[in-house]
Amino acid sequence: MAEGLGRRVKQVTGQPPGPDSAPVDLSRIDPAIWRVLAGGEAHGPYTLGQIQQFVIEGRLHAASQISGGDQQPFLPIRDTPRLAEALAPAFAERARRRAEAANYLITARAPAPAEAALWRDLPACLDALGKHMQPIPGTFLLRSARSLSQVRAALAEALPKTAQVFVLQTREARLGWVGFEEDMAEAVRPVWNAPLT
């Protein structure tokens, strides 16, 4: 393995590795040439490694506009064969991650008598469902392999009966809730996914 690494270092730097050899210049292996057009502004330059990470994180998709240099036009990734091929493993990893889990936004509240129980029981319930954090009081982010109905059912079972919880599954933009009146669906439907005209 060390011998193979030595050959690669020699290919990149033109000199064999050794105690007196200069460190490998990674910018020659993966130069920061890629620019991303987002919100009408060009961002970058980025290395291909950074672009791959953006794809895995879901910050870029096949229609994202990318330029391979200062004078090159911005084109969708899917219309740039060399880039699309290089990013294929990153898109596959993103798809694998999306298939294995979903992200949820959860808000919760309870009347004063049950409030202490809510804040004790909710984190424990979320621990059992997946990874979570609380960015602001009463709002949680959850990443879980469970379906929306499973998350909702777990919350309904674990939390005080007077707690109210609203759950947004972000992948398909689906909603669930616990502790609201049965007519909540009728109240939500005219707003959720409704046309704005």
Q: How many CB atoms lie within 10 A of CB 58?
A: 11
Please determine, for residue 140, whether its predicted confidence score (pLDDT) is greater than 70.
yes
Q: Quick one: tokens of 74?
A: 């911005």
| 84-90-94-100 Cα dihedral, nearest 10 degrees | 130
Please determine, for residue 109, whether its predicted confidence score (pLDDT) is greater than 80.
yes
Q: What is the DSSP letter of 194?
A: -
User: What are 23-59's pLDDT values in tens digits?
Assistant: 667 778 889 999 999 888 999 999 999 999 999 888 8
pTM value? 0.57
Strands (E), the chain: 34-38, 41-46, 65-67, 75-76, 102-109, 130-136, 139-144, 164-169, 174-178
Q: What is the per-residue pLDDT for 142?
A: 98
| Dihedral sign of CA atoms 104, 139, 196, 187 in order | positive
* pLDDT above 70 as % of the chain: 88
Q: Is 190 exposed, middle or buried (0-12, 13-18, 19+ CB in 10 A)?
A: exposed
Fold topology of 101-188: Alpha-Beta Plaits (3.30.70)
Q: What is the per-residue pLDDT for 197?
A: 74
Domain range summary for the chain, segments of one domain joined by +: 25-98, 101-188
Kindly report the average pLDDT of the chain as a whole number.
Answer: 85
Q: Quick one: tokens of 12?
A: 């990149």
Q: What is the per-residue pLDDT for 196?
A: 81
What is the Cα–Cα distance from 21 to 100, expressed in whole angstroms? Answer: 45
* pLDDT above 90 as % of the chain: 54
Considering the segment(s) 25-98 as one domain, its CATH architecture is 2-Layer Sandwich (3.30)
Least-confidence region, from 3-7, 120-124, 173-177: 3-7
What is the Cα–Cα distance from 188 to 175, expressed in whole angstroms? Answer: 9
What is the Cα–Cα distance from 26 to 30, expressed in whole angstroms? Answer: 6
What is the Cα–Cα distance from 197 to 182, expressed in whole angstroms? Answer: 28
Q: What is the per-residue pLDDT for 15?
A: 54
Q: Which of 73, 56, 76 is nearest to 65 (CA)?
A: 76
What Rg value do the Cα atoms of the chain yield, rounded? 24
